[in-house]
Amino acid sequence: MNKVKTTSEKSLTNNSRIVGLLAQLEKINSESLLVEADTARYVTSKILHLAQSQEKTRKEMTAKGSPAIEVILSTLENTRDLQTTLNILNILIELVSVGGGRKASALVSKGGTQILLQLLLSASKDSPPNEELMVQLHSLLAKIGPKDKKFGVKARISGTLNISLNLVKQNLQNHRLILPCLQVLRVYSTNSVNAVSLGKNGVVELMFKIIGPFSKKNTGLMKVALDTLAALLKSKTNARRAVDRGYVHVLLTSYVDWHRHDSRHRHMLIRKGILQCIKSVTNIKLGRKAFIDANGMKILYNTSQDCLAVRTLDPLVNTSSLIMRKCFPKNRLPLPTIKSVFHFQLPVIPISGPVAQLYSLPPEVDDVVDESDDNDDIETESEIENENEADKDHLFKNDDIETDINKLKPRQELGRPVEELKMYEQFFPELSDNFKDYDLVSKEPKPFPSDANLSGPIVVPTAGEEQSVEADHSVKGITVKESNHLQAEECNKRPAFLDLPKRDRNKDNILQQQSDKKKLLSSCQCLNYEIVKGLDRITLQNTSKNEQYYKTGCVMKKESKTSLTSLTCNKPCQHVSSCGSVLFEGRSAQLGKLCFTGVDPEEEDDSSSHSSGEQVILEVPDILPLHDPDLYIEIVKNTKSVPEYSEVAYPDYFGHIPPPFKEPILERPYGVQRTKISQDIERLIHQNDIIDRVMYDLDNPSYSVPEDGEILKFNSKFESGNLRKVIQIRKNEYDLILNSDINSNHYHQWFYFEVSGMRPGIGYRFNIINCEKSNSQFNYGMQPLMYSVQEALNSRPWWTRVGTDICYYKNHFARSSIAAGGQKGKSYYTITFTVNFPHKDDVCYFAYHYPYTYSTLRMHLQKLESLHNPQQIYFRQDTLCETLSGNSCPLVTITAMPESNYYEHICQFRNRPYIFLSARVHPGETNASWVMKGTLEYLMSNNPTAQSLRESYIFKIVPMLNPDGVINGNHRCSLSGEDLNRQWQNPNPDLHPTIYHAKGLLQYLAAIKRLPLVYCDYHGHSRKKNVFMYGCSIKETVWHTNVSAASCDLIEDLGYRTLPKILSHIAPTFSMSSCSFVVEKSKESTARVVVWREIGVQRSYTMESTLCGCDQGKYKGLQIGTRELEEMGAKFCVGLLRLKRLTSPLEFNLPSSLLDFENELIESSCKVTSPTTYVLDEDEPRFLEEVDYSAESNDEQDIELADNAGDYEPSVQEEGLSDSEMTRTHLP
């Protein structure tokens, strides 16, 4: 019978043959296998032959819908014949080996794991077990085990764990058998419970019997044994067992032996396997101590230095670096307290939160470090964690997305009684002013009646509720354009006028400020510069002139006066002199030290500094229309800081213009981070080489710096300055410690300090050692900024990007649990950069980003006020409120003056939609102020498009929401120690006055039914490139949840996408793909979400500007500068004008040459065919250099409170996850 079948098979195709064989096998399965044992053996051998020889057969057997695997597994489960079993195991090995992971997963899904484990259990009962069967069975289990997530659990339940272990114990010399057994043990050990169970049965000791010194024999077995051991040692129990038996020393000795003998580097995988075992065992404190005691730091340091020359050995260097960083003893920051060195007593102490905790700490508590700064609870290896990182982050992120539709739906709530909101009437005089006493552009025959009450489409809203008696009287003969749709509903209402005094603009072009009774600028010259010249040149005023000026090196002087400041030196200038005369009386202030020995010979001719005599003349060229050094000094007098600063930083005094050259994103040299880490490790190994001398210390004001011509001098005692302590480490290397935000114990990122006493041609390394974010754009091409006084005196007054060998990495200084949100063992991070100074004894300033002080804002606003045309521009500057320390918070109103006081013109004036803008709620995000500067300058310019914009909108602008934080050099918080952008839900008028009253302005507009068309809060983003926006959308938020909410049933106006889409077309720095419109729970108290949800503004945005640069558009590959930031502010205005055309085309007619814009723009922005992708990964891809920036094997995932974030919405946190974790929006 069998022979007949065989003959017929020969005439069939291969496909038919395998189908026929499988059919036979299936038939045998249904019959008695004892009777058909020979047939089953024959059929399986034929299938094996076909599978081994023909790829087509293998594909057919594993094709979708093929019953082959089920039939074969069924036979395996039922057969008792050894040869049939071996045949089937070989068939499965063949299929899995060729098909890869997908085929192994298919085998797992069909129940293969349980069948194989059961076969292993039954085969182990034979005495002795069949070696060939055990080899094949373990080989197959080793291949499918990694593809079965429950493999370890299944093995433990079936009781097969110790079978493989006992086989190894009994057959140590049989390498063919124990190799697949070790491979299976390696898979078992990835389950922590299994690892502990195996450890109790002596598996750790067994592995060390296999692992030995250098040998060319059995290297494959050695590699598998090391991998198995590394997995086993991730268990704390096994790691302790290894430490107790002295195996750390054994591993180090073995590593050195392999390092010495493997001269041709053919066994790098074994060397790395030993390092992986050391890495696992040092996850526990005992392991780290044993490593240090065994001189592990020096051993790995020396061996890794030997490997640096060979690029292929980088994995060994990187793993060694990780181990050394982890085992480097955790140090406390050399500070008496992590709290800010400055103290400000709050008027009200919060009941709960971090500020309340700080105030409740007993004075004797050491908050710098914990008693135990080691985190012993980590058993998982970083690589294993990284495999699941995306899943974990995705779940975490989804948890943060708001899923409650009812909470997502905007609900307009005033939140305060209407009577209370009447206090904000004073900030809206434009809604009641009849402009009777103003010198307007034209006089119409019918002036607006100041005492008449009118009805019709005019809206003159106030918070008052009483209606005029004659409100129903109509005015005949007047036609009014159709009102904007936003105001249509209130056209028949007319509250009473506000009775406010009028100013005579003919006599006084400078508007009175409520906070400043005294005029700070009495003799200000009104320069007839156009602030911005045309849409094509909105990057910077008079850019070409500036560049020409700097190329020729000449000095422009004011026509009316030359701004000269004489500084009398105490010593002749050929020596280092400390200059800084008192510049004004009363509350004194002075310029910082100016130290130099004269100018370089080649710069003598065009320099404005002279070294003859004992006087140094600083000539400040007048090329910045909005900058006036004398005015700046006057304003500084009235700026109140907690430390009571009396010095002025030279960059703030001289001013800044963008340099006339491009500054590319820095290319990171390969291996720079591990080189820096290696130098840090040298501190421990060669401690005698470390100077460890304090050079600057705000905690000890009486500390005197030693007189030494070779050392640098530091200072940060000026507005916005931040540098707490400096320690000299080596001759030209300094550790810098930043100050915490006032009334806080963290938020270290912003820095701004002065350096002097340098020598040219020397590379000075600066390490800022107490940063908190887990990653930074300093790892991706961003450079810090430097301002040279010598360069400024040589007609180059600009901040430039400087520094080489820049990187950002975790260091060996630990945060206390108080600073780390209750977690112990959290490390700080280091920003390191090296600078070569161009001039001897220069005075240079370093900053995280382009500084923009509160006094600079006040100066710019006053200059804008004095330069504007009052007949054309309505400009008003008010004080919204006073801050905690008594500084005024400016509120600016900008629009176009009405054409006349004729009724129709006043009607159009008052019915203009509002645009509400704010910025600088986070002091360290100085780029937000530069964007705001661009917006303000554009709005005040003579550009015809700017005039059209002013005629279209009324702008209410709070350019600096956190003046106190800016003044005192904070990074994130106000003086209350809280992130003001997390206080919008329930701002406290005593602790958060600027937020309370800014929200009050918006609530007032809501009360009088004049909701802003757009609200935008300007921010900076520290971990992403380009400029982008966050908005609010119910539908897009629901898309990103796993809730089965029928998002398609939601009806939502997609107008929130229009402005970002417009900006992506017109602003070169703007990236639509980085925008997100998802609402997260952690952001529910931010301005963006509260203004959208409570006030009811649909177009409520946060606009984020990069601190680094751009990776798209015409600025791709360049670091961002103030020119590009100001351009973005101006382009935002242009975008608003185009938005006006799209939202109200009937009443807005402009020349097409100014506003040609594709009609399909709004259509493309509204046809969202698919949800945005919620990407929860690092903002930037990791470098090939695998010494990771954000995590080590003994650290938990860096997930921290959202409040730690730099406002990169929708990141869950800034100092934890990856600061961005951005939602990405893809448009068709």
- Which residues are catalytically annotated? 1104
735 vs 738: CA distance, rounded Å: 10
Joined tokens for residue 999: 């929200």
CB 423 within 8 A of CB 881: no
Q: What is the DSSP string of 878-911?
A: EEEEE-TTS-EEEEEEEEEPPS-SBHHHHHHHHT
Instruction: Read off φ and ψ for residue 1018, nearest 5 degrees.
Output: -85, 130
Question: Is the link from the previous residue into 128 a cis peptide, with omega within 30 of 0?
Answer: yes
Joined tokens for residue 67: 């019953």
Joined tokens for residue 617: 């003349």
Helix (H) or strand (E) holding 564: strand 564-568
The neighbouring-strand residues paired with 764 are: 835
The neighbouring-strand residues paired with 730 are: 733
The neighbouring-strand residues paired with 140 are: none
CB 890 within 8 A of CB 861: yes
CB 50 within 8 A of CB 17: yes
* SS3 state at 295: coil
Strands 914-919 and 954-958: parallel
Which candidate, 933, 1004, 931, 930, places its Cα nearest to that of 422?
Answer: 1004
811 vs 816: CA distance, rounded Å: 14
Which candidate, 95, 72, 96, places its Cα nearest to that of 84?
Answer: 72
486 vs 58: CA distance, rounded Å: 69
How far the first Cα of the chain sits from its last, in Å, is 66
Which candidate, 1138, 1105, 974, 1116, places its Cα nearest to that of 1028?
Answer: 1105
38 vs 861: CA distance, rounded Å: 98
62 vs 41: CA distance, rounded Å: 21
Q: Provide the residue type at 501 as one letter.
A: P
Joined tokens for residue 496: 């009473």
> Hunting for tokens 């552009």 — which residue is that?
441
CB 598 within 8 A of CB 616: no
Count CA atoms within 13 Å of residue 18 on its CB side.
26
**How far is residue 790 CA from its own chain's centroid?**
34
**Who's near 264: CB < 8 A, 6+ residues apart?**
none
Instruction: Read off φ and ψ for residue 324, nearest 5 degrees.
Output: -65, -40
Question: Is the link from the previous residue into 1171 a cis peptide, with omega within 30 of 0?
Answer: no
Which candidate, 43, 31, 95, places its Cα nearest to that of 69?
Answer: 95
Would you give the DSSP letter of residue 917?
A: E
**Who's near 1007: CB < 8 A, 6+ residues apart?**
414, 418, 421, 463
860 vs 631: CA distance, rounded Å: 10
